[in-house]
Amino acid sequence: MFLAFFTLLLLVAEYFGLLSSRTPRTPKLPAWAWAALLVASYAVQLGVVRYAALNQLGMPDWRLTMPIPVIDDRGMPIANGDAVTAIVLILAALQSYALLALYRARSISRNLLWIGCGAMLALSLFAPALMSFDMYGYVRGAVLGVSSYTPADVPFSGDYHILNLWFDGPTYTLYGPLWIAMVQAVTVAAPRDCPSATPRTPRL
């Protein structure tokens, strides 16, 4: 219910032009402050994901064998599910706002961006939970390579036996070189240059 209301609110704001490139206004804080906000909010988001993954209702037993708890990507059937959904949406809005402000910063250190990206990458690598099973699918595609389009009826062994639990035999996928080509074909028509904003003449 909350998600539907939030989506409707975004549609109304978009219809009346409240989400233009000049809005919302962002305070002129240093770039490092916005980068720190992005990293901190991402860390909080991973904590919420862990809570949701460990408190799912009716989670099948085989999911307990996964090396990392995963939120059921068909929804959030968890205790306090509405509150968790609201927190995730608020964090997403906060991250979008911080990223917008970071884009608007006049001077951004490349080292700052590398540090921020490195911190978020480290958080992702050591995250105790995942939002979706897709990550296991990416690993499966990377292991099979081109063979992921025509997988053999052979189960994974060793450390990759976890993939058998989710996919339950050979399944076909579009992800891989073909998917990249499809994405490029869809996005090739998009404009490459964004119209630059006309600088305002300062009043004397």
pLDDT at 36: 94
Whole-number Å distance between alpha carbons of 135 and 137? 5
pLDDT by residue (tens digit) across 115-174? 999 999 999 888 888 877 777 777 777 777 777 777 677 777 777 777 776 666 556 556
Mean pLDDT of 179-198: 65
Contact predicate 36/95, CB 8 Å: no
Domain boundaries, the chain: 2-132, 134-189
pLDDT at 59: 57
H-state helical runs in 55-109:
81-104
Contact predicate 26/99, CB 8 Å: no
